[in-house]
C-alpha cells in the first residue's frame, strides 16, 4: 500500500520554473497571490490542461472562483499572460494560455538587473582608479588630471585595470606624469593590448629590449660621455 501511494505521488510529477521568477516577480509587478496563481497555471499546462478555468484554479487555492477570475484578468492586463486561439487537426477552435509574455518580461528583468550590477562594478572600478592615482601621486588630482582620467575611461574606453597597469608601468619607469601614461595607453591600444596579462608581457619585453639597447650603447660609446637611453614611448 505504501509503495503504491509513493508511485501515485511520483506520477503527480513536478513543475519546472526558473528561480529568477522567484527573485524577480516583485520587480515585474506581481504579488504573492498572482505568483501562486501562475504556478498553478504552469502546473495545469504541464499536465496537459492548457486552459484551466477559474473554477479549476480555485479548487487548488484558498481564493474564490471570482478572485481567481479577477487575478487572471489582471495578469492579462499586465501583459504577463496571453490567450491564444488555435485549431485542432479536426478544425475545432480552442483557447489556451500562453506564458511567453511572462518569460519575455522575466528575461528583460533579469538582463536589466545584471546590467545594473555590472554598472555598479564598473563605477567601483573607476572610483578605484582615481584612488590609485592619488595614492601614487601623493596628492589630490587637479581638475585637468581628473578630466584626462575621465577621457581615458569614457572616450577612449580603456579598461580601468589597463589604466592602473599603465600607471604602474610609469612608476616602474620613474616617469610619473599623465603625458607619459597617456603615451603608454596609446601604444598599448595600437598594439591591441587589452588584458593585464598582455600589458605585463609587453612591459617585460620593453624593459628587456631597453636593457639590450643600454648594453649595446655602453659597448660602443666612450664612458666619458653621458648615455642616452632609448624610450619607446617617445619614438
Spatial separation of the C-alpha atoms in residues 30 and 235, rounded to whole Å = 63
| Angle of the 100-137 helix axis to the 160-173 helix axis, nearest 10 | 20
- The DSSP secondary structure of 92-119, one letter per residue, reads -EEEEEE-HHHHHHHHHHHHHHHHHHHH
Q: pTM for the whole thing?
A: 0.61
The two domains 2-105 and 141-234 share their CATH topology (first three levels equal):
yes
> 3-class DSSP state for residue 201?
helix
Question: 101-133: string of b/e by CB count within 10 Å (b at 16+)?
Answer: ebeebbeebbeeeeeeeeeeeeeeebeebbeeb
Most confident of 1-15, 184-198, 213-227: 184-198
Mean pLDDT of the chain: 86
More confident residue, 201 or 126: 126
- pLDDT tens-place string over residues 147-189: 999 999 999 999 999 999 999 989 988 899 999 999 999 989 9
Residues in Cβ contact with 88 at an 8 Å cutoff, skipping those fewer than 6 apart: 94
Query: For residue 76, what is its C-alpha cell?
Result: 492579462
In this prediction, residue 1 carries a pLDDT of: 66
Q: How far apart are CA 187 and CA 179, in angstroms?
A: 12
Least confident of 16-20, 88-92, 145-149, 216-220: 216-220
Quote the DSSP letter at residue 235: -
User: Which residue bears the cell 478572485?
Assistant: 67
- Domain 141-234 belongs to what architecture? Orthogonal Bundle (1.10)
The CATH class that applies to domain 2-105 reads mainly alpha
Return the exposure string of 76-94: e unless at least 16 CB atoms fall within 10 Å of the residue's CB, then b. Answer: eeeebbeeeeeeeeeeeee
Query: What residues does each domain of the chain span?
Result: 2-105, 141-234
> What span, in angstroms and rounded, lies between the C-alpha atoms of 191 and 119?
28
Amino acid at each position: 500500500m505504501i509503495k503504491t501511494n509513493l508511485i501515485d505521488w511520483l506520477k503527480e510529477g513536478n513543475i519546472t520554473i526558473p528561480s529568477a521568477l522567484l527573485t524577480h516577480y516583485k520587480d515585474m509587478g506581481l504579488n504573492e497571490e498572482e505568483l501562486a496563481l501562475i504556478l498553478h497555471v504552469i502546473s495545469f499546462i504541464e499536465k496537459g490542461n492548457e486552459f484551466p478555468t477559474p473554477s479549476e484554479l480555485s479548487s487548488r487555492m484558498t481564493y474564490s472562483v471570482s478572485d481567481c477570475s479577477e487575478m487572471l484578468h489582471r495578469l492579462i492586463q499586465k501583459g504577463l499572460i496571453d490567450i491564444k486561439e488555435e485549431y485542432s487537426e479536426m478544425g475545432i477552435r480552442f483557447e489556451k494560455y500562453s506564458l511567453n509574455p511572462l518569460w519575455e518580461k522575466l528575461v528583460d528583468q533579469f538582463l536589466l538587473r545584471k546590467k545594473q550590477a555590472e554598472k555598479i562594478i564598473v563605477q567601483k572600478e573607476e572610483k578605484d582608479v582615481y584612488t590609485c592615482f592619488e595614492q601614487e601621486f601623493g596628492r589630490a588630482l587637479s581638475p585637468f588630471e581628473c578630466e584626462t582620467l575621465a577621457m581615458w575611461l569614457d572616450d577612449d574606453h580603456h579598461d580601468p585595470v589597463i589604466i592602473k597597469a599603465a600607471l604602474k608601468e610609469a612608476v616602474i619607469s620613474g616617469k610619473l606624469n599623465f603625458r607619459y601614461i597617456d603615451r603608454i595607453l596609446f601604444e598599448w591600444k595600437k598594439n591591441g593590448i587589452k588584458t593585464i596579462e598582455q600589458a605585463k608581457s609587453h612591459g617585460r619585453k620593453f624593459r628587456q629590449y631597453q636593457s639590450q639597447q643600454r648594453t649595446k650603447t655602453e659597448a660602443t660609446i666612450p664612458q666619458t660621455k653621458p648615455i642616452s637611453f632609448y624610450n619607446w614611448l617617445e619614438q
